[in-house]
Structures are given as structure tokens and as C-alpha cells.
């Protein structure tokens, strides 16, 4: 989606920084600043009225991660851009999981900010190669954990059946599964049949529900064991 004017809302605790950023962005077409607030609660109270296309969040204010989650609950379709991130990979991942879709580290330039605002307004995720690497590694770790959970819950499934089962959870068609795994559709049908039979269910939706439940139980057990 191409916007002729991009409406930006700013949340930053430091007044001098907040007002300076708002003034700088106002002079950058096609941006217009619709609000600048010291905390997320005040911004959320006005967000329906102000109708921003992008929200900029200075990550140096207190409880910033909780604020991100609140934005995600109340306005899940508005892109959230984090400003002032450190170089901590775990911190970056935590903000991504909370709902951030645009990432700017503390050494980013003003032009970097403009680029992230514009791409975020189009629904794209923008980040540095370092951040992208951290997110990809996190996805790989989650995928590996997911496979282990499926195996532990249903050890009678073969490795390929577990691959198919994990994609069934995402409601993919046989053709889509075949494309993801690089195998023939007929082969996928055979694996799906075997998965349903081994799980003692008749429908794909029932298999997905059972696998989701098993993963939730395994995940809860793993979480309890780490505490």
C-alpha cells in the first residue's frame, strides 16, 4: 500500500528528544507527525482519534516492552518501530516477540529512520543485517524445539511425517506442503494419511488440534522445568 501522507506518532520519555524528533520529521515529506507523547498509556488513549500509520517507540523509556505488548493488543495492525535499541541480541528478539516490526539501533542515522518509517507503513519489516541474523537464528531455534516436541509427544511418527505434521499445524494444503518440502503431492498425501492414522484421527483439522495441544503441554512442561 502506497500512502501519499504517512501519519507518524511518537512515544519518547525525554521531552527535548521527543520535540526535536517531531520537528525534524514534520519537515520530511511525505511524513506528518500526528502526536508526540511521553508515555505509551497517553498515546494509546488517543490513538483511535489520531489514526497513525506508524508508531515510533523510544525503547529507553520505562517498561517499554510492556508498552509494546499493549500496543499489539489494542492496535495490532499499526506497525511499531523501535528506536534506540542496543546491540543485545536477546533484547532484539524479545522486542520482536512483543510485536516490534521495525528496528533502529542507537547508531542509526536520521535517513535510516525515514527509510524504516516508509517501509513499515507498507507493512514491511525493516532491520539491519545483524538484527535479521538474530531473528533468523531465533526462528531456527523455535523450529528445532517444535520438532523435538512433536517427536517427544509422538515418537511413532517418522522424521518426514513430523515435517508434514508441523506444516499441517499451519493449515497448509498438500500442494503447499509439497512445495515447502520439495517432494511430490502424491508423497505428501501418503504422509498425511499415515499421520492421521498414527494419531488416530480422521481429519487434518483434528490432527492439527492434537499436535497444537501436545506442543502446548510440552512447552508448559519445559517452561516449568526452567523455573
Name the residue among 72, 84, 120, 82 with its Cα closest to residue 103. Answer: 82
The pTM of the full predicted model, rounded to 2 decimals, is 0.58
Q: How many residues does the chain have?
A: 227
- Whether 34 has a pLDDT exceeding 80, the answer reads yes
Residue 89 near residue 119 (C-beta atoms within 8 A) = no
Cβ–Cβ under 8 Å, residues 68 and 80: yes
Please tell me the predicted confidence (pLDDT) of residue 50: 94
Which of 26-35, 53-62, 122-131, 138-147 is the least confident region?
138-147
88-92, 93-97, 130-134, 165-169: the lowest-pLDDT one? 130-134
Place of cell 533502529: 104
Domains and CATH numbers, the chain: 6-127 (3.40.50.2300), 135-226 (1.10.10.10)
Three cell numbers, residue 65: 516492552
> In the predicted model, is pLDDT for residue 146 greater than 70?
no
Give the tens place of pLDDT for each residue, 56-76.
Answer: 999 877 677 788 888 888 888
Q: Report CA 220 to chain centroid distance, whole Å.
A: 21
Distance CA 192, CA 204 (A): 8
pLDDT beyond 60 at 219 = no
Q: What percentage of the chain reaches a pLDDT higher than 90?
A: 26
For residue range 1-10, list pLDDT tens digits in order: 566 899 999 9
Amino acid at each position: 500500500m502506497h500512502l501519499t501522507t504517512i501519519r507518524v506518532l511518537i512515544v519518547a520519555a525525554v521531552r527535548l528528544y521527543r520535540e526535536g524528533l517531531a520537528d525534524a520529521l514534520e519537515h520530511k515529506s511525505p511524513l506528518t507527525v500526528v502526536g508526540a507523547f511521553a508515555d505509551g498509556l497517553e498515546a494509546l488513549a488517543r490513538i483511535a482519534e489520531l489514526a497513525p500509520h506508524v508508531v515510533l517507540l523510544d525503547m529507553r523509556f520505562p517498561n517499554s516492552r510492556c508498552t509494546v505488548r499493549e500496543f499489539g493488543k489494542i492496535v495490532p495492525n499499526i506497525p511499531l518501530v523501535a528506536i534506540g535499541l542496543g546491540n543485545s541480541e536477546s533484547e532484539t528478539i524479545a522486542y520482536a516477540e512483543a510485536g516490534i516490526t521495525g528496528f533502529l539501533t542507537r547508531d542509526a542515522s536520521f535517513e535510516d529512520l525515514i527509510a524504516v518509517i516508509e517501509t513499515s507503513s507498507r507493512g514491511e519489516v525493516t532491520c539491519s543485517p545483524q538484527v535479521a541474523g538474530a531473528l533468523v537464528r531465533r526462528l531456527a531455534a523455535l523450529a528445532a524445539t517444535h520438532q523435538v516436541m512433536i517427536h517427544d509427544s509422538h515418537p511413532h511418527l517418522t522424521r518426514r511425517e513430523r515435517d508434514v505434521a508441523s506444516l499441517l499445524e499451519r493449515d497448509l494444503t498438500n500442494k503447499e506442503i509439497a512445495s515447502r518440502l520439495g517432494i511430490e503431492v502424491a508423497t505428501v498425501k501418503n504422509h498425511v494419511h499415515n499421520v492421521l492414522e498414527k494419531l488416530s484421527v480422521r481429519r487434518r483439522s483434528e490432527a492439527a488440534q492434537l499436535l497444537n495441544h501436545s506442543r502446548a503441554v510440552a512447552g508448559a512442561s519445559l517452561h516449568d522445568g526452567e523455573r
